[in-house]
Amino acid sequence: MRQTINHHSVSVSAPGSIMFCGEHAVVYGYPAIVCAIEQRITVSLTFRDDQQIVINSHLANYQSTLTRLTSHPKLRFVLAAIAQADLSDGVEINITSNINPNLGLGSSAAVTAATLGALSYANRHSFSHKIIHQQALKIIHQVQQHGSGADLAASIYGGTIAYQLNPITIEPLNTTLPCHIGLQYCGYKTPTAEVLAIIADKMTQDPEPYHQLYQQMGKLSRQIITAFKHHDFASIYTALNQYQTLMAALGVSDNTLNELISQAHRQPQTLASKISGSGLGDCIMTLSALAQPLPEDHHPVQLASQGLRLEPPSLSA
C-alpha cells in the first residue's frame, strides 16, 4: 500500500563506521566489533506536490519520476530506499557528507540508514532502529549481494557494538579505549563485494582451510568482546595483532598493506595495527599510546556515541 505523507522537510544523519575486528568471518555468522565514528552523512528530505524524484549530492545530481525510477551507479542505495518506501508523492533529497571518501568508513551503510530514517520519520514522526536495520540490510543484499550488516548496525545504533548474524544480535560495548585510533589509506581500494566474491570463489575449491580461519577469527573476536567487558586493554591489543595475522593468511593483506602495518609497528607508540575492512586495499587501523601522537600519515578517528539522529531544522536547509 502506497504511503501518503505530510508535505514537510526532515533531516536525519547517520555516522560512518570502522570495523574493529571480525572482518570476513562475520559474514559466516561469527561475531564482530564495529564502531561508529564522528563523521556523518545527513539526508535532508522534502516532499513534493508532484511525482518527481530529485537527489542532490556531491556524488551526483539526479532527477526521475516516482513511477519510472531510473538507475544511477552512484545512488543505488538511496534509490533502493526510495523504491522500498512505496511513496505516493515525489521527494527532493539533499545529501551532505563529512565522511572521508578515501577511508572506507561505511558511507554506503550510513547513507542507506539516513535515507530510511528520514523517510520513516517524515511518515511516522519516529523511527525504529530494529526495523531500519532490517530494511537497510535487505537493500545492501539487493544492491551488492554480500554484506553482514555490521556497519549498518553501527550507523543506526552508534557507539561500539558487538554484532553477530543468524540471529542478528547487537550488544553495546560501553568501554572507552585508552588510546588513539588512526587510519591510513593505502592509495587504492577493492570494493567489499568484490573481495568477498574472490574469497568465496577460493572457498569452493578448498573450503576446509577457510572454515578453520573463520573459526580462529571468531574465537579472537569473542576474546576481544570479553576483554572489552573486563577493561582488559592489553588483551585487546594482542588479539587485534593476531587477527591481522589471520587476515594475511586469508589472502586479503597484500604487500602494500603489509608494509604499512610493518611501518606502524616500527613506531614505539603503536599498540596494535591491522586492516580495517575487507582488505586488498583501503585502510589500516592503528591503535597507539595516548602519550604520543599517532604514527605518521594516520588520520585520527573519533568514536561516536550516537547513531541515527534527527537533526534540528537549522541543519535541514
- Does some domain include residue 2? no
Say whether both 216 and 289 belong to one domain: yes
pLDDT tens digits for 189-229?
998 889 999 999 999 999 999 999 999 999 999 999 999 99
| Per-position b or e across 264-298, b if 16+ CB within 10 A of its CB | bbebebbbbbbbbbbbbbbbbbbbbeeeeebbeeb
User: Sorting pLDDT into bands at 50, 70 and 90, what band is 115?
Assistant: very high
Tell me the pTM. 0.92
- Does some domain include residue 3? no
| Angstrom distances, CA of residue 206 to CA of 59, 197, 199, 212, 216 | 40, 15, 11, 11, 17
User: Sorting pLDDT into bands at 50, 70 and 90, what band is 2?
Assistant: very low
User: Sorting pLDDT into bands at 50, 70 and 90, what band is 317?
Assistant: very low
First to last CA, the chain: 30
pLDDT tens digits for 39-48?
999 999 999 9
Say whether both 211 and 141 belong to one domain: no
Q: Is the pLDDT of residue 90 over 90?
A: yes
Distance CA 181, CA 17 (A): 13
Handedness of CA 199, 204, 208, 214 (dihedral sign): positive
Say whether both 163 and 38 belong to one domain: yes
Q: What is the mean pLDDT of residues 19-33?
A: 96
The residue segments making up the domain with residue 88 are 9-175+304-315
Say whether both 226 and 110 belong to one domain: no
Distance CA 282, CA 263 (A): 16
The DSSP letter of residue 300 is E
Instruction: Kindly calculate the radius of gyration of the chain based on its CA atoms and give it in whole angstroms.
Output: 20
Say whether both 161 and 194 belong to one domain: no
Question: Which cell is 190 given?
Answer: 577493492
Say whether both 161 and 231 belong to one domain: no
Q: What is the mean pLDDT of residues 145-152?
A: 89
User: Sorting pLDDT into bands at 50, 70 and 90, what band is 316?
Assistant: very low
Q: What is the mean pLDDT of residues 300-312?
A: 95
Q: Which one is predicted more confidently, 6 or 126? A: 126
Say whether both 35 and 129 belong to one domain: yes
Portion of the chain with pLDDT greater than 90, in percent: 84
What are the residues facing 285 on neighbouring strands?
Answer: 183, 274
Say whether both 59 and 134 belong to one domain: yes
What are the residues facing 275 on neighbouring strands?
Answer: 284
pLDDT tens digits for 246-282?
999 999 999 999 999 999 999 999 999 999 999 999 9
CATH of the domain at 225: 3.30.70.890
Say whether both 22 and 101 belong to one domain: yes
Number of domains in the chain: 2
Say whether both 41 and 167 belong to one domain: yes
